[in-house]
Amino acid sequence: MLAEILAGIDHLKERLDRARPLTPAEVQRLREYLLVEWTHHSTALEGNTLDLRETRIVLLDGLTVGGKTLREHLEVLDHREAVEWLEAAVREGQPLSEGLIRELHRLVTRSTLPEEAGRYRRGGVRIAGSRHVPPPAWEVPALVRGMVEEYNRRRGKDHPVALAAWLHWRLAFMHPFADGNGRTARLFY
């Protein structure tokens, strides 16, 4: 089943590649669509109540939405900044590193949790609705370094989507930060 899913993804990628080059307008529309969808769904999973249309208004029109909290607006804006930073890092060929992960987390939480942004948690953490207990805080730095090393060993051997899913799972499993783990992990898709 996984092989079929990955083959379907490869087929869609081939179709996109055949449509290239896209016009600048097409690239802009696609980028805006993906940014809004990615940001909305990632923040909604964490409880943000901005709907898809409202997320678009905040991101693309620079407006606020009445009745929504400042925190919800800031989560959406911080996510956009993290996406833009990650896109630049990929264009520059920056490899996955502990520093890259911490910088993404810093950007995701810079306005809503500035005192913890980019810092590994210093205590225990629970995941709401889950029986999983993440490893103790003192193990986190070594676990993140090990995850990066394993990613680099698997890179080029595993399907890119399977590797991204593994990276997301591994980061979410260890929950290295006090908050913002899910939003940070989803940036690796």
Quick check: is 160 in a domain?
Answer: yes
Residues 89 and 132 in one domain: no
In this prediction the pTM is 0.93
Write the pLDDT tens digit of every residue in 111-135: 999 999 999 999 999 888 889 999 9
Q: Is residue 68 part of a domain?
A: yes
Whether the bond into 21 is cis, omega within 30 of 0:
yes
Inside any domain, residue 12 = no
Total domain count for the chain?
Answer: 2
pLDDT in tens, 132-153: 999 999 999 999 999 999 999 9
Whether 104 maps to a domain, the answer reads: no
pLDDT at 189: 76
Q: Are residues 126 and 176 in the same domain?
A: yes
- Given this model, what pLDDT does residue 184 score? 97
pLDDT recorded at residue 128: 83
Q: Say whether both 32 and 80 belong to one domain.
A: yes
Question: Which residues are part of the catalytic machinery?
Answer: 175
**pLDDT for residue 145:** 98
The residue range of the domain holding 183 is: 119-189
Q: Assess whether 63 and 25 both reside in one domain.
A: yes
As a whole number of angstroms, the distance between CA 15 and CA 170 comes to 31
- What is the reported pLDDT for 129? 85
> Is residue 7 included in any domain, yes or no?
no
Identify the domain boundary among 94, 110, 138: 94
- Give domain status of residue 147, yes or no: yes
State whether 39 and 80 are in the same domain. Answer: yes
**Domain assignment of residue 15, yes or no:** no
Asked whether residue 14 is domain-assigned, the answer is: no
| Residues in the chain with pLDDT values less than 70 | none
Residues 6+ apart with CB under 8 A from 31: none
